[in-house]
């Protein structure tokens, strides 16, 4: 007997029960078509660049990347991977863009890549490297960018280590600092070698070009979007103006007796916000204190004026600012830590944290950075520890402070700055210890404390 057409379970009319399963009609999902990404031999892209691109954009291991590069070299073509259309398209666009940026100076016939020797790039960024990657020495004093370059396998340092065969300076916002780096680059390459300089119009690249033209042989500039790229040639003897650029970029003494570097934070003297915070800091701070984003050490004297302070960590992402801090702060209680304060955690927790946080990432105002500093401060503090912070009046930090600290007091609101004192709740300690005890971690320390 046939099964009733759409019966589910129940009587089959003969007193017997029969069970059948109703299934929902399966939605037909078509698989997206997949596309092969092919790499073709062009006879002039250096092999190490191909390997770098395969590692960076296709996530291949070094040995796999070398294998594909050799296949391309021998057979003229190799399959790099198989992807859905959008992913394949994005990867190809990324590689083309990267190759174009790296090749532009070479393609433009601006400079000839010397056969041997390292290529230096001042202010190198992960997204903008000059060829050849294997010979590149990236100079990047900012810790987060430095770490990103290292993660890409680029040889990176905070300071130059000449000699170089070719140099590239990525201009920053400070004219004095950029010209100082051009002077450093010229001194780091042999006579006749090129120094490439590129930068944005908004950062004053036109003025740098004009200054170079006055004293050096300058090639035809290449305009690119809002920027310019040009090459200068290192003469046999460096002109006096270049020596002056180097001199003008050195750290100099401000009205408060501390040295600061042109291009660094508040280069001409102490920031008014820092002075206000220094004034309001109590003189009975105790134990282990950290200054997050310590710069050239402006706040150190006020912190170390408390005799009860046993250690001061100056945590700063800019290695050049930290060089100045080392020269400014000679107290043996000071330790100089080149670190990203948003990720830094002290070994033993701190009794107090002091901070004038940065509020810019590059050119853009970024209160998110200050908020990340507030969170780091809270994580670094011992329960009951205190946090002291100054900020521009318009910056909205109250919410973030309230979220991570028990007690927040605005102790001053003067001249466009506000100063906060906050305390990490002691209850947080109990919660943390209880939590640790549940995980079997804090039992011994609890026992010892009694
Ligand atoms: C507003 S300035 C204050 C400098 C110094 N404390 C003072 O009062 O003069 C902020 C400092 O934070 C540093 N900074 C920016 N981002 C950082 C980060 N992620 N980690 C550590 N320091 C950072 C900057 O280089 C700068 O020196």
CB 129 within 8 A of CB 154: yes
Of the two residues 28 and 273, the one the predictor is more confident about is 273
Alpha carbon nearest to ligand 1 atom 19, residue: 340
- Model confidence at 300: pLDDT above 60: yes
Give the residue-averaged pLDDT of 193-197.
Answer: 94
Alpha carbon nearest to ligand 1 atom 12, residue: 293
Mean pLDDT of the chain: 84
- Model confidence at 370: pLDDT above 80: yes
Residue 148 — φ and ψ, nearest 5°? Answer: -65, -40
- Quote the ligand 1 centre to 345 CA distance (angstroms): 16
CB 298 within 8 A of CB 271: yes
Closest by Cα among 242, 156, 230, 151 to 191: 242
The model's pTM: 0.76
Predicted local distance difference test score (pLDDT) of residue 291 = 98
Residue in 293, 341, 365, 397 to alter for ligand 1 test, most ligand atoms within 8 A of Cβ: 293
**Is the CB of 274 inside a 6 Å radius of any atom of ligand 1?**
yes
Helix (H, G, I), strand (E, B) or coil at 131: coil
| CA–CA gap between residue 160 and residue 179 (Å, rounded) | 15
Residue 13 — φ and ψ, nearest 5°? Answer: 95, -15
Of the two residues 398 and 70, the one the predictor is more confident about is 398
- Quote the ligand 1 centre to 388 CA distance (angstroms): 15
Give the residue-averaged pLDDT of 328-348.
Answer: 97
CB 20 within 8 A of CB 3: yes
CB 302 within 8 A of CB 278: yes
Helix (H, G, I), strand (E, B) or coil at 113: coil
The alpha carbon of 319 is separated from its chain's Cα centroid by a whole number of angstroms, namely 12
Q: How far is CA 38 from CA 66, 95, 149, 222, in A?
A: 15, 12, 27, 31
**Is the CB of 340 inside a 6 Å radius of any atom of ligand 1?**
yes
The closest-lying atom of ligand 1 relative to the alpha carbon of residue 295 is: 27
Q: What digits encode the pLDDT tens for the residues 116-159? A: 999 999 999 876 655 567 788 999 999 999 999 898 888 999 99
CB 35 within 8 A of CB 82: yes
| CA–CA gap between residue 80 and residue 96 (Å, rounded) | 15
**Is the CB of 141 inside a 6 Å radius of any atom of ligand 1?**
no
Bridge partner list, 291? 314, 354
Predicted local distance difference test score (pLDDT) of residue 44 = 58
Residue in 142, 269, 317 to alter for ligand 1 test, most ligand atoms within 8 A of Cβ: 317
Give the pair of three-digit tokens for residue 110.
């601006």
| DSSP per residue, 48-59 | HHHHHHHHHHH-
CB 356 within 8 A of CB 296: no
For the chain, the 3-state helix, strand and coil shares in percent, each to the nearest 5, are 35, 25, 40
Predicted local distance difference test score (pLDDT) of residue 9 = 38
Closest by Cα among 302, 307, 283, 280 to 291: 302
Alpha carbon nearest to ligand 1 atom 9, residue: 298
Q: Is 85 exposed, middle or buried (0-12, 13-18, 19+ CB in 10 A)?
A: exposed
Helix (H, G, I), strand (E, B) or coil at 124: coil
Spatial neighbors of 418 by CB under 8 A, at least 6 apart, are 390, 391, 393, 410, 412
**Is the CB of 126 inside a 6 Å radius of any atom of ligand 1?**
no
- Quote the ligand 1 centre to 295 CA distance (angstroms): 5
- Model confidence at 245: pLDDT above 50: yes
CB 120 within 8 A of CB 139: yes
Q: What digits encode the pLDDT tens for the residues 24-66? A: 556 666 777 888 888 877 665 666 667 777 887 888 877 788 8
| CA–CA gap between residue 60 and residue 374 (Å, rounded) | 38
Outline where 314-366 has alpha helix (H).
319-328
Angle, helices 240-248/175-188, rounded to nearest 10 degrees: 130
The kind and range of the H/E element at 383 are strand 381-392
Residue in 257, 358, 374 to alter for ligand 1 test, most ligand atoms within 8 A of Cβ: 358
Alpha carbon nearest to ligand 1 atom 24, residue: 293
Bridge partner list, 364? 361
Q: Cα torsion for 144, 150, 152, 155, to the nearest 10°?
A: 140
Residue in 174, 251, 255, 295 to alter for ligand 1 test, most ligand atoms within 8 A of Cβ: 295
Half-sphere exposure of 17 (CA within 13 A, CB side): 4
Predicted local distance difference test score (pLDDT) of residue 25 = 56
The closest-lying atom of ligand 1 relative to the alpha carbon of residue 340 is: 20
| CA–CA gap between residue 157 and residue 177 (Å, rounded) | 18
Give the residue-averaged pLDDT of 236-251.
Answer: 98
- Model confidence at 180: pLDDT above 50: yes
- Model confidence at 443: pLDDT above 50: no
**Is the CB of 266 inside a 6 Å radius of any atom of ligand 1?**
yes
Closest by Cα among 78, 45, 44, 82 to 64: 78
């Amino acid at each position: 007997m046939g099964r009733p057409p759409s019966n589910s379970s129940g009587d089959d009319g003969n007193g017997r029960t029969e069970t059948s399963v109703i299934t929902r009609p399966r939605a037909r999902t078509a698989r997206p078509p997949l596309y092969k990404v092919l790499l073709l031999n062009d006879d002039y892209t250096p092999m190490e660049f191909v390997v770098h691109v395969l590692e960076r954009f296709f996530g291949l291991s070094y040995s796999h990347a070398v294998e594909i590069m050799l296949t391309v070299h021998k057979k003229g073509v190799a399959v790099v991977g198989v992807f859905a259309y959008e992913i394949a398209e994005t990867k190809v666009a990324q590689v083309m863009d990267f190759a174009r940026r790296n090749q532009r100076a070479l393609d433009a016939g601006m400079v000839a890549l010397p056969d041997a020797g390292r290529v230096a790039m001042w202010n190198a960024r992960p997204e903008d490297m000059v060829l050849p990657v294997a010979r590149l020495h990236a100079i990047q004093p900012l810790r987060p960018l430095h770490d990103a370059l290292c993660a890409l396998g680029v040889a990176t340092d905070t300071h130059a280590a000449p000699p170089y065969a070719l140099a590239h300076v990525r201009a920053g916002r400070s004219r004095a600092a950029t010209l100082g780096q051009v002077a450093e680059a010229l001194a780091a390459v042999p006579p006749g070698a090129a120094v490439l300089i590129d930068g944005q119009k908004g950062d004053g690249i036109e003025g740098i070009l004009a200054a170079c033209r006055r004293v050096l042989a300058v090639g035809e500039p290449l305009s690119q979007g809002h920027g310019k790229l040009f090459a200068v040639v290192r003469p046999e003897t460096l002109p006096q103006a270049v020596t002056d650029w180097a001199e003008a970029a050195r750290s100099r003494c401000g009205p408060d007796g501390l040295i600061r570097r042109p291009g660094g934070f508040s280069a001409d003297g102490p920031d008014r916000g820092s002075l206000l915070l220094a004034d309001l800091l109590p003189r009975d701070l105790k134990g282990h204190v950290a200054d997050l984003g310590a710069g050239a050490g402006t706040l150190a004297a006020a912190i170390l004026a408390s005799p009860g302070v046993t250690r001061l960590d100056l945590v700063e992402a800019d290695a050049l600012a930290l060089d100045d801090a080392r020269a400014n702060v000679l107290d043996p209680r000071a330790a100089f830590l080149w670190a990203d304060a948003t990720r830094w955690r002290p070994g033993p927790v701190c009794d107090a944290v002091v901070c004038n946080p940065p509020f810019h990432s590059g050119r853009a105002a970024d209160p998110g950075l200050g908020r990340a500093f507030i969170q780091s401060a809270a994580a670094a503090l011992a329960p009951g520890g205190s946090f002291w912070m100054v900020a521009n009046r318009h910056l909205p930090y109250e919410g973030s402070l309230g979220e991570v600290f028990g007690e927040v007091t605005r102790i001053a609101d003067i001249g466009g700055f506000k100063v906060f004192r906050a305390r990490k709740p002691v209850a947080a300690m109990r919660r943390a210890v209880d939590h640790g005890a549940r995980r079997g971690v804090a039992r011994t320390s609890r026992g010892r404390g009694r």
